[in-house]
Amino acid sequence: MPSCVAERYRVRGTCRGIGLGAAVMLGLAGATAAHATEIIGAGSSFGAPIYGAWGEGAAHATDIRLNYQTIGSGAGQNQVKARTVDFGASDAPMTAAQLAQFHLIQFPTVMGAIVPVVNLPGVDTSRLCLTGELLARLYAGDITMWNDPRIVAENPGLSLPAIPVAPVRRADGSGTTFVFTSYLGRVSPRWAKEQGSGTSIEWPVGEGARGNDGIAAAVRNTEGSIGYLEYAYAAGNHMAIAEMRNHHGDLVSAGPDSFAQAVTTAHWAADDSHSADVLDGDGPGAWPIMAATYVLIPTDRAGTPQGRAVRAFFDWSMQHGNDAALALRYVPLPDDIRVTIRDLLKTH
């Protein structure tokens, strides 16, 4: 097998590793080469750690082994539309019309949080409070110094340095960027009008970095910087995470309790997109920058060995994957949603 792709498929332009150090080939342990069915997925870096964990578990429990390529959500969508992988993974859900056009089904797998990470020497960053509007102004270039009165007003008693703000943002197409910019557009009408949201946008200011690793390295190496990361990556790499003022007006810290509160306010789409809106939830104690990550599976390959194996893999994951999700700091889906997904896999 080549270093970045399986012999059966070549995933175009995808020789980048998984952000948390997971191997490119996932779930080899315990799978017997003589009988295992290999499935290939590609896309979201946000989802990569959980798919790695599920791949290892499924390899021990089933005859399925997983090769997952971390190439970003936009590329993951493109690869599954081109049928060069068995499933795509994306943090930006496709619409019901797009799914019908490309003969795909879509469903969420886990939920997670995006968090602001900062580098402010001499500041107790665990006490730093930001709001959605402040984040929008920081990334729009409207606030250029950390001791700006608007930040000071949200942080009484916290001594903020007179150093420039150095925003760091993704340079590659990213579902994390889609979630983050969607949140900024939700809380700031000006951002929604002038910058919008997407896996890749034209940023007004800031340094671009590729992947979670690039964001983390740029923030660590730049005093006054601010970036955005998936919580699992930020916490696992001991990044300084700011608190947030949520829609309800509460000051909340990133963690399991605030994430679980956000999930209780999720709005589930009634159409075939099976998407969930957990951004800027109005419940007390809810973390405001939350999203689901999704899998896309072709319906016209359901009868092939790989099509059956992909469905069996995610059916197993919906039944047995919660412990791994919690260990990796994701939020598992509610029980009724997982039952709905298993039914979808059986009928499509």
Q: How confident is the model at residue 314 (pLDDT cuts 50, 70, 90)?
A: very high
pLDDT at 35: 67
Q: Compute the distance between CA of residue 261 and CA of residue 270 in angstroms, rounded to an integer.
A: 22
Report the percent of the chain where pLDDT is more than 90: 78
2-20 residue pLDDT tens: 333 333 333 333 333 333 3
Q: Compute the distance between CA of residue 178 and CA of residue 36 in angstroms, rounded to an integer.
A: 36
Selected residue with higher pLDDT from 1 and 151: 151
Give the rounded distance of the alpha carbon of 218 from its chain centre: 19
142-179 residue pLDDT tens: 999 999 999 999 999 999 999 999 999 999 888 889 99
Domain 25-111+292-347 and domain 114-277, same fold? Reply is yes
| Beta carbons within 10 angstroms of residue 181's beta carbon | 26
Task: Identify whether the C-beta of residue 181 lies closer than 8 Å to the C-beta of residue 201.
Answer: yes
Task: Identify whether the C-beta of residue 119 lies closer than 8 Å to the C-beta of residue 225.
Answer: yes
Task: Report the topology of domain 25-111+292-347.
Answer: D-Maltodextrin-Binding Protein; domain 2 (3.40.190)
3-class DSSP state of 107: strand
168 residue type, one letter: V
| Beta carbons within 10 angstroms of residue 198's beta carbon | 16
Q: Compute the distance between CA of residue 270 and CA of residue 277 in angstroms, rounded to an integer.
A: 12
pLDDT at 8: 35
CATH class of 114-277: alpha beta
pLDDT at 9: 33
134-148 residue pLDDT tens: 999 999 999 999 999
Q: How confident is the model at residue 265 (pLDDT cuts 50, 70, 90)?
A: confident
3-class DSSP state of 291: strand
Q: How confident is the model at residue 111 (pLDDT cuts 50, 70, 90)?
A: very high
When pLDDT is averaged across residues 20-29 and rounded to a whole number, the result is 39
Mean pLDDT over each residue of the chain, to the nearest integer: 89
Answer whether residue 290 shows pLDDT above 60. Answer: yes
Q: How confident is the model at residue 129 (pLDDT cuts 50, 70, 90)?
A: very high
| Domain range summary for the chain, segments of one domain joined by + | 25-111+292-347, 114-277
Please report which residue ranges of the chain form alpha helices under DSSP H: 48-61, 73-81, 96-101, 132-140, 149-154, 175-187, 189-194, 211-221, 231-236, 256-263, 305-320, 322-327, 335-347
29-77 residue pLDDT tens: 443 444 689 999 999 988 999 999 999 999 999 999 999 999 888 899 9
Give 200's contacts (C-beta < 8 A, 6+ positions apart).
Answer: 74, 170, 172, 173, 174, 177
For 136, 149, 239, 252, the CA distances from 123, given in Å and listed in that order, are 22, 16, 14, 18
The pTM of the full predicted model, rounded to 2 decimals, is 0.81
DSSP string, 237-274: TT--B-EEE-TTS-EE-SSHHHHHHHHTT-EE-SSTT-
206-217 residue pLDDT tens: 999 998 889 999
Q: Compute the distance between CA of residue 174 and CA of residue 195 in angstroms, rounded to an integer.
A: 16
Which range, of 240-244, 250-254, 263-267, averages the lowest pLDDT?
Answer: 263-267
pLDDT at 10: 35
